Amino acid sequence: MSHLLPTYARANLAFERGEGAWLVSTTGERYLDCHCGVAVNALGHAHPVLVEALKAQAEKVWHVSNLFRVPDAERLAARLCEASFADLVFFCNSGAEAMEGAIKVARKYHAANGAPERVRIVTFEGAFHGRTLATLAAGGQKKYMEGFGPPVEGFDQVPYGDLDAVKAAIGPRTAAILVEAVQGEGGVRVGTPQFLRGLREICDQNGLLLVFDEVQTGMGRTGPLFAHQRVGVTPDVMGIAKALGGGFPVGAVLCSAEAGKGMTVGTHGSTFGGNPLAVAAGNAVLDVMLAPGFLEAAQHKALLLKQRLAAVADRHPTVVREVRGEGLLLGLACVVPNNDLITALREEKLLAVAAGDNVVRILPPLIIDETEIAEAVDRIDRAATRLERAAGAAQGVAPKLEGLKA
């Protein structure tokens, strides 16, 4: 009997070690990891730069609290600002905390401007911003909010991609617009450049802050370091986490000096946020990701993977109806139940993760190589064939196994 609170439907599978894009189970089986702890392990497993950084810091100091300066936190903040629109950074421990902090920044900005009634935030159907009470309300998905009492007030949801609906939702109490450039959990739905640029214009016209949730899309996952950079849109506030620590828990709120002017001493805090171990991991991740050519190489591999997945979809239209996504945040929109494909992939020793809209997310590490991409596509191809055979597809004739070659 497990003493863990049963809030997860865990697979009966555990891992004892990993290297690069591979995980080894406690029974000795090797799995190709296109799950990455839900887009967290962007540099794969046991990356030597990350391992060395944590080893070195572990022998120095683990935690001192934010009542003292943490020089490496200051360094990480400066590097994030240099690589983005931001002037200021607040460190926390998770994506949900980052988005909770971003909501507070947006509301406090208007209070500092003498308009404390401006607290409402326009959000989008299909969004996922975390599991705190406020971020659940921002996401608006009833299946996650059921049983937790009245939703936190202050969020107005509209259809994703609908600029007219955004404009109609804005009133005198509106403070901000909160958006994901790509809705990962919501089904790998990509915001168009027109939509995202339109949000910036609406914010500028109405004195609102534009808040990006880049918890999943940030840190190179969709191509550039941050997804909004792909379309040339500058937010006022941004939440990041997941890949920022390469597997070590760390999140951050980034904002412009103007947007953050209300966050003065005592307005927010986090006991563990930005502690020495966390920022050592974050700095090591940036050491790797900001090295010349790294993000460009990841984008090349992403294009290769997306093209080959499209070929799989063409060969298996009774299993996959569409390939979606940007960079290495890709989704297979399924004809069959998405969990059936995930199970078939696991039987082929490949790990993937479900998303909304009956989608399977394919989230390999950014360090995956072309041979491993070919192997991943072969396994996805075999899993689709497995499902076709089980369903008696192609008029009862078992389809051929056709793996793709590098």
Q: Read off the pLDDT of residues 3-16 as tens digits, 9 standing for 90 and up.
A: 999 999 999 999 99
162 is in an annotated binding site: no
Examine the pLDDT at 398 and tell me if it is beyond 50.
no
242 is catalytic: yes
217 is in an annotated binding site: no
Task: Report pLDDT for 12.
Answer: 94
Which phi and psi (to 5°) does residue 89 adopt? Answer: -135, 140
Mean pLDDT along residues 106-123:
98
Query: What's the Cα-to-Cα distance from 184 to each of 203, 217, 302, 357, rounded to whole Å?
Result: 23, 8, 16, 11
Mean pLDDT along residues 87-107:
98
pLDDT digits (tens, 9 = 90+) for 25-77: 999 999 999 999 999 999 999 999 999 999 999 999 999 999 999 999 999 99
Q: Is 38 left (phi over 0), alpha (psi -120 to 50) or beta?
A: left
Examine the pLDDT at 393 and tell me if it is beyond 70.
no
Closest by Cα among 310, 305, 339, 320 to 385? 320
Task: Report pLDDT for 391.
Answer: 85
Catalytic residue among 242, 248, 378, 381: 242
Mean pLDDT along residues 306-335:
98
Examine the pLDDT at 394 and tell me if it is beyond 70.
no
214 is in an annotated binding site: yes
378 is catalytic: no
Angle between helices 276-289 and 294-315 (to 10 degrees): 80
84 is in an annotated binding site: no
Task: Report pLDDT for 77.
Answer: 98
271 is in an annotated binding site: yes
pLDDT digits (tens, 9 = 90+) for 179-235: 999 999 999 999 999 999 999 999 999 999 999 999 999 999 999 999 999 999 999
Cα angle at 130 between 71 and 73, to 5 degrees?
5
184 is in an annotated binding site: no
Share of the chain above pLDDT 70, in %: 97
pLDDT digits (tens, 9 = 90+) for 225-280: 999 999 999 999 999 999 999 999 999 999 999 999 999 999 999 999 999 999 99
Examine the pLDDT at 396 and tell me if it is beyond 90.
no
Catalytic residue among 33, 213, 236, 381: 213
Residue written as tokens 């790990």? 351
Catalytic residue among 128, 155, 226, 248: 128
